[in-house]
Amino acid sequence: EVQLQQSGPEVGRPGSSVKISCKASGYTFTDYVMNWVKQSPGQGLEWIGWIDPEYGSTDYAEKFKKKATLTADTSSNTAYIQLSSLTSEDTATYFCARGSWELGFDYWGQGVMVTVSS
């Protein structure tokens, strides 16, 4: 069974960074890209970017290029997103989602709530 288990809720101070994890199981980690999606409170979905764990290649939406850094550790089948220079605009739930162009985002993590507060 495919599962994406994300880390727990985070609270970050303005200007700081947080790093969220997404541990994959039930499939070959390097066979799919891992996407990250942002959902601000009461709002819709925004695609942040993807990482190909096999090659470490990444692609980001322009607005997140200076905000998010995607990495992956194939030894632990875990993908990460680091959010830097936190502001109140970064308060949101962040989802990881397994992806392929053919199948779309077929499995999602449970989401991680990031709260930016002083």
Partner 1 sequence: DVVLTQTPSILSATIGQSVSISCRSSQSLLDSDGNTYLYWFLQRPGQSPQRLIYLVSNLGSGVPNRFSGSGSGTDFTLKISGVEAEDLGVYYCMQATHAPWTFGGGTKLELK
Binding stretches for partner 1 (CB under 8 A): 37, 44-47, 59-62, 95, 97, 101-106, 108-111
Q: Check if the beta carbon of residue 101 is closer than 8 Å to that of residue 88.
A: no
Least Å distance, CB 16 to partner 1, is 26
Instruction: Give me the DSSP letters along 79-107.
Output: EEEEE-S--GGG-EEEEEEEEETTTEEEE
Output 11 or 45, the one with its CB closest to partner 1: 45
If the CB atoms of residues 54 and 111 are measured against partner 1, the closer one turns out to be 111
Minimum Å gap between C-beta 24 and partner 1 is 15
Smallest distance from the beta carbon of 20 to partner 1, in angstroms?
14
Distance separating alpha carbons of residues 49 and 24, to the nearest angstrom: 17
Q: Of 23, 27, 40, give the one whose Cα is nearest residue 79.
A: 23
Closer by beta carbon to partner 1, 102 or else 118: 102
How many C-beta neighbours within 10 Å does residue 46 have?
14
Rounded least distance, CB 29 to partner 1, Å: 19
